[in-house]
Amino acid sequence: MKKDAILVIIVIVIVVVIVGVGIWYYQNQKDKGIACTMEAKLCPDGSYVARTLPDCEFAKCPEIVGIADKIVINSPKPDEFISSPVTVSGKARGFWFFEASFPAAVYDSNDKQLGIAPVQFVPQNENDTWMTENFINFKGEIIFSKPTIDTGYILFKKDNPSGLPELDESFKLPVRFILESKL
């Protein structure tokens, strides 16, 4: 009798182990053979994302730095360390430009202007124009004086030749300055 009880317990343990391994295997193999449709989602910054496993949900869109429907800053990133000269790039709607440029300026956190320069429209092909309502690329280099504090911002300002305040728009990108160490 005692041998029969031990044999039953051993069989039960073996069955439980086999079922457990089977469940583990099934759970780890459930994504095999699943394919997501080849759809793409247009993100607010103009890029596209595809569906991803395991649930075939769209991947997250990149975080927008700027004003989503007007200007997107690619470089520098928010709170990035910068030094002079700083190269700025991104894309903006054509109506932010006048004569293919708009101003960008570096300020310290006390609102002291350290430098200003125009950022220029960068055509992607010979038929591109800045006279559009679509997003177009820009790039520029701002030379600025030595800051005395370690934080500031870059002000991207819509060019407004009319001078009408209701047409003014701007975006402040927070930055940090690389200060020379005092030896």
Residues 162 and 122 in one domain: yes
Strands 170-177 and 81-82: parallel
Strand spans (E) along 86-182? 86-93, 101-108, 113-121, 135-142, 151-157, 170-177
Give the separation between CA 24 and CA 94, rounded to whole angstroms.
56
pLDDT of residue 66: 65
Does 5 map to a domain? no
Distance, CA of 42 to CA of 92 (rounded, Å): 17
Whether residue 7 lies inside any domain: the answer is: no
Which CATH number fits the domain that encloses residue 98?
A: 2.60.40.2550
Residue 155 in domain: yes
* pLDDT higher than threshold 90 for residue 59: no
Rounded Cα–Cα distance for residues 137 and 92 (Å): 7
Over residues 63-79, the pLDDT tens digits come to 666 676 889 999 999 99
Q: Does the pTM of the predicted model rise above 0.85?
A: no
Tell me: the pLDDT tens digits for 131-164?
A: 888 889 999 999 999 999 999 999 999 999 998 9
58 and 123 within one domain: no
Q: In terms of Cα–Cα distance, which of 96, 137, 101 is closest to 116? A: 101
Residue 163 vs residues 37, 80, 106, 156, 168: alpha-carbon distances, Å: 50, 32, 22, 16, 8
56 and 70 inside one domain: no
Give the per-residue pLDDT at 176: 95
Amino acid letter at 167? L
Q: How far is residue 155's CA from residue 132's CA, in Å, rounded to a whole number?
A: 23
Domain boundary among 62, 78, 100: 62
Q: Please check whether residues 54 and 125 belong to one and the same domain.
A: no
Determine the average pLDDT of the residues in 93-117.
95
* pLDDT at position 182: 47
Q: Is the pLDDT of residue 121 over 80?
A: yes
Question: Is the Cβ–Cβ distance between 70 and 91 less than 8 Å?
Answer: no
Q: What is the DSSP letter of 22?
A: H
Domain assignment of residue 39, given as a range: 33-62
Q: Phi and psi at residue 129, in whole multiples of 5°?
A: -140, 155
* Of the listed ranges 16-20, 89-93, 118-122, the one predicted with least confidence: 16-20
